[in-house]
Amino acid sequence: MPRSLVIAAAQLGPVQRAHTREQVVQRMLVLLRDAAAMGAELVVFPELCLTTFFPRWLIEDEAELDAYYETRMPGPATQALFDEAKRLGVGLHLGYAELQHEGDRKRRFNAAMLVERDGRVASIYRKVHLPGHAEPEPWRRFQHLEKRYFEPGPGFTAVRAFGGVVGVAICNDRRWSETYRVLGLQGVELVLIGYNTPVHNPPAPEHDRLGDFHNHLVMQAGAYQNGTWVVGVAKAGVEEGCEMIGGSCIIAPTGEVVALCSTRDDELAVARCDLDLCNSYKRSVFDFAKHRQPHAYGLIVSRTGAIPPEQDRGSKS
Ligand code: ING
């Protein structure tokens, strides 16, 4: 009996500053119900899906900034979504800004929660790779202040859920091969990744034309090189004048895209994912125990930035 799981990538179109959480949840409920009607057992929503992508602005008033975070998940606005998912027997993944109070200290994470079909919280992941910058850079068309508004999370932990081994990553994490390999070394069979990705990247505008290509390149590579399914889900479209890519997709362990959104609006991409499709990769070309050579990989952990060799070996001096 194949361990198959019907998964829906539930892409969201733009969420404007004026949109309330309740309005966004109403859109999510439509996607959830449509996905359930299509047989989905897990519905994957994007990164920071409840609000507009607020790191694009410098927000100096702390109360204004805090208003973008959740202190409880589910909270007042999302309880209806969690209740409906449980009623439908459908699992959820959703990204949100998490504000924790530790004594008189505030801790802020770019988080994502995985909820099983019975409503149990299977995992809470906190984004490790925070792109952008911590101090405002006025030269940019828009800011990307994730390093200002969030702390890096502790790491990548796969959990048993939905009949398999499931990992979560968020947005920029998907660009780093370490993300998939740390999960791969836990036997991951399904990696869920929400993202909010502007088309324009101010430090490297020459990359803009390749945004959609790089989006799929990194997730397809991660899937194939670790013998896992990967589901990438965008909050897409033009938010407050900032254009964001779509391209939400479901990628098989073969590396192939098997379901794809074609708009930048609220849209579902659904596929039946046979988790046993991972096995032929995990037991052959990517049989880690048989083929990996950790003695050669030390720099990956011991070194952060690249350090080139001192000089050209062929040089006379
Ligand atoms: N967004 C982007 C991402 O990694 C970015 C940041 C944009 C990186 C464009 C490179 C190019 O997809 C988030 N939220 O991480």
* For the chain, percent of residues with pLDDT exceeding 70: 99
Cα gap 85→91, rounded to integer Å: 7
4-302, which class in CATH?
A: alpha beta
Spot the catalytic one: 127, 189, 235, 239: 127
Q: Say whether 147 is catalytic.
A: no
- 60-69 pLDDT tens trace: 999 999 999 9
- 120-146 pLDDT tens trace: 999 999 999 999 999 999 999 999 999
Confidence check: pLDDT of 82 > 80:
yes
Confidence check: pLDDT of 317 > 70:
no
Average pLDDT, the chain: 98
Residues present in the chain in total: 317
* Mutation probe of ligand 1 site: the residue of 52, 54, 127, 197 with most atoms within 8 A of C-beta: 197
Among candidate residues 259, 180, 249, the one with its CA nearest the CA of residue 213:
249
Beta strand 237-239 with 242-244: parallel, antiparallel or unpaired? Answer: antiparallel
**Are 11 and 246 a contacting pair, CB within 8 Å?**
yes
Confidence check: pLDDT of 2 > 90:
no
Give the residue, by CA position, lying nearest to ligand 1 atom 11. 201
- 139-156 pLDDT tens trace: 999 999 999 999 999 999
Among candidate residues 1, 155, 162, the one with its CA nearest the CA of residue 89:
162
CA separation, residue 69 to residues 21, 59, 309 (Å): 11, 13, 45
Residues with CB under 6 A from ligand 1: 131, 171-172, 175, 195-198, 201
Q: How far is the CA of 244 from the centre of ligand 1 (A)?
A: 10
The structural domains of the chain, with segments of one domain joined by +, span 4-302
Give the residue, by CA position, lying nearest to ligand 1 atom 9. 201
pTM: 0.98
Q: How far is the CA of 234 from the centre of ligand 1 (A)?
A: 11
Half-sphere exposure of 5 (CA within 13 A, CB side): 29
Q: Which residues contact 269 (CB under 8 A, 6 or more apart)?
A: 8, 9, 11, 248, 249, 250, 259, 260, 261
pLDDT value for 312: 78
